[in-house]
A and B are shown apart, each in its own frame.
Chain A
Amino acid sequence: MTTTSPMTAPEHRRVSKAPVRHEPARRRRFKPGAGRQHHAGPFAYFALAVVGLGSLFPLYWTLVAASRTQDEILDTTPPLIPGGNLFNNLEAAWEQANLGKAIVNTVIVSSSITLATLFFCTLAGYAFAKMRFKGRGALMTMVIATLTIPPQLSVVPLFMMMSDIGWGGQLESVIFPTLVSAFGVFFMRQYLLEALPYELIEAGRVDGANNLRIVWSIVLPVARPAMMVLGMLTFVQAWNDFFWPYLALNQQNPTLQVALGQLSASYVPDQSIVMAGALISTLPLLVVFVIFGKQIVGGIMSGAVKG
């Protein structure tokens, strides 16, 4: 793959406002993209609007369903605007699904996974990007190879191990297996490869700093933008994780997703209450997304190109 600058946030800001005026005077070598020369026609906007609507509608429908009664949403003519039953449903979901505990648990799980991932992945990414050691290439290949192993392959013994060491049903059983991610190591390595000049490290060395000191006062500040992005991606993923938490945790000690799964599995569930639960579990992330959407978009774009 061709490489672009690792963080695309500034990159696509540049290209999206591609300076047409400058064109004759100063031709850019990497004027990106096929359609880039052309303005999008009305068809493109129409198609994007349709897809955008399709993307957002299920979220809107969650809100509608969460604010109605089950009878209303399953009526022969389903309602298309929110009703007035939201708070009743939220209250019912809160009581039936142990949501208070679930929220606290989810926050604990997601933030500890995010913090640990940031710390360990930055260290490992720095080592892989800028330090020379025996077996570096092979070890990095191993890291990437682990990306292809689905969690399904190890859940049975993992469940037995966790119960063995007394973490059965505990949050530890969800936190510890995800403390570092291969994607994170790869992501930080790609960023630091280009963003961290050798001269900076060297300067630190000449000033007599040891490796830890260099990490602390040179690598971390340089890595901060990438850490922001990786942090958000990791947080979203940890918040939404379903498979292993569903197997590992129980009704008394759930995360939001687990509670939601159990709420819907309960005997004759009321769909409007289930939707209220879904709303509670999605809303915090949507807020994060509205605020940091641009960075997350840039992060996904930069993380992927160099495959």
Chain B
Amino acid sequence: MATTTPTRGVHGSRPGRRAPKPMTPGRQAWRSRLWRFDDKASPYAYIAPFFLVFGAFGLYPLIYTGWIALHRVEMTGLDQMEWVGWENFSNILQDDEFWTAVTNTFVIGVISTVPQLMMALGLAHLLNYKLRASTFWRTVILTPYATSVASAALVFALVFRADGGLLNWVLGFFGAGETNWANGHWTSNIAIAIIVIWRWTGYNTLIYLAAMQAVPSDLYEAASLDGASRWQQFRNVTIPALRPTILFTIVISTIGSMQLFGEPLLLEGGQIGAQGGSEHQYETLSIYLYNYGWNLGHLGPAAAVAWAMLVLLLLIAAINWLVGRFMRKTAA
């Protein structure tokens, strides 16, 4: 036993402790081979489930999507695939609706992510003060995270209703209660962004708060010795220290906003929601994909949309990477 321990893992044997029972040499060799196999194979066995599940239900379908995109496949006959080449791609790229969806996804992404992260940063700063009942405040701010997209979207659909909507009622006191939120291009995009902001601000706040608490206080002491005001400390100490975290939240929020589905689907509901509004005014890429595949039943073009999303995602990743590099450079 003791002889086999040095080969095991990262650490040596502990001297002074003996194997439980003495063994014959042959038996010992067999056992040591068994131990070594256990050591070599175990880590792979432990991580295998992740890679198996991801391979089967993530990676393989992702690649297969590209193949389906080159075929005609209908919901009514899933086993019949007919080769059509690039037709699906050229169809969606020539479709104005597709570009509307790209624009909406982008617009909603920006007007939900930017205010959300800025608010989260401010809130995290407040929560970082010495605070009475700090756990209470944190929990309250995180509560929207516990609601589903579906319930959040449905409640806000009531709030944003044109007639009898809560928001228009409140705005009525200021003499501006006539907005038909779901109908306008900008107003509907803003409405959806508000649902997103409501659900995710608390989550991002906590991420920032955690990062803020890891900033060593020496930095602040040094800054205040140099006569920096609190605002200057926030700008010149907190924000630079949080840069990697901010980048992380930007990436996560961007990916999240690529996927917006439930919010636009349920803003008006029914057939209108499935098209992203009567004039597609709030149609996102996910809705476009759903509409093609599950509403109209054409899975080929739906798969082409999925690949278009992949290309967009890679573009965004490249931009993110460039921005990150730029930020690092300016920091240095």
Contacts and interface: CB of A to CB of B under 8 A. Distances in A.
Interface string A1-30: 111100010011001101000000000111
Contact of A154 (B58, B149, B234): B58
A74 B213 contact: no
Interface in B192-215: 198, 201-203, 206-207, 209-215
B49 A123 contact: yes
B30 interface: no
B107 interface: no
Contacts of A132: 9-10, 43
B259 A151 contact: yes
Contacts of A92: none
B103 interface: no
B245 A158 contact: no
A160 interface: yes
Interface stretch (B34-42, B110-118, B183-191, B275-283): B34-42
B289 interface: yes
B82 interface: no
A100 interface: no
A127 B46 contact: yes
Interface string A279-307: 10110011011000110110011101101
A150 B309 contact: yes
A282 B17 CA distance: 56
B176 to A, nearest CB: 16
Count class of interface residues, chain B = 35 or more
Nearest to B210: A301
Interface in B109-160: 119, 123, 125-132, 134-135, 137-152, 154-159
Nearest to A177: B57
Q: Is the interface of B mostly helix, strand, loop or mixed?
A: helix
Interface stretch (A48-56, A81-89, A221-229): A48-56
Contact of A44 (B61, B62, B126, B234): B126
B166 A78 contact: yes
A153 B159 CA distance: 32
B215 A34 contact: yes
B8 interface: yes
A153 B63 CA distance: 9
A278 interface: yes
A152 B14 contact: no
Given A32-B217, A257-B149, A1 B244 contact: yes
A156 B306 contact: yes
Interface in B49-76: 49-51, 53-54, 57-58, 60-62, 64-65, 68, 73
A20 to B, nearest CB: 8
B155 A2 contact: no
A58 B49 contact: no
A103 interface: no
Contacts of A28: 217
Given A61-B158, A278-B151, A210 B35 contact: yes
Nearest to B17: A206
Given A40-B129, A146-B54, A154-B58, A300 B299 contact: no
A30 B130 contact: no
B156 to A, nearest CB: 7
B218 to A, nearest CB: 7
Contact of B156 (A48, A58, A126, A264): A58
B155 A148 contact: no
B203 A300 contact: yes
B28 interface: no
A154 B155 contact: no
Interface in B61-100: 61-62, 64-65, 68, 73, 78-79
A157 B207 contact: no
B140 A198 contact: no
Nearest to B255: A148
A160 B128 contact: no
Contacts of B332: none
Interface in B212-258: 212-218, 220, 230, 233-234, 237-238, 244-245, 248, 251, 255, 258
A107 B64 CA distance: 32
Contact of A1 (B35, B61, B164, B245): B245
A201 B146 contact: no
Given A38-B129, A62-B151, A120-B49, A297 B269 contact: no
A40 B126 contact: yes
Contact of A206 (B5, B44, B50, B234): B5
B214 A301 contact: no
Interface in B282-311: 285-286, 289-290, 293-294, 299, 302-303, 306-307, 309-310
Contact of B62 (A73, A139, A149, A297): A149
Contact of B151 (A142, A236, A243, A281): A281
A278 B261 CA distance: 17
A288 to B, nearest CB: 7
A293 B215 CA distance: 25
11 contacts: A11-B213, A30-B217, A34-B212, A35-B125, A133-B43, A149-B58, A151-B259, A152-B258, A157-B65, A285-B146, A293-B142
Interface of B: 1-2, 5, 8-11, 13-14, 17, 19-20, 35, 38-40, 42-44, 46-47, 49-51, 53-54, 57-58, 60-62, 64-65, 68, 73, 78-79, 119, 123, 125-132, 134-135, 137-152, 154-159, 161, 163-164, 166, 169, 198, 201-203, 206-207, 209-218, 220, 230, 233-234, 237-238, 244-245, 248, 251, 255, 258-259, 261-262, 265-266, 269-270, 273-274, 285-286, 289-290, 293-294, 299, 302-303, 306-307, 309-310, 313, 317
- Shortest 5 CB-CB distances between A and B: which pairs? A74-B164, A154-B61, A240-B148, A177-B57, A40-B129
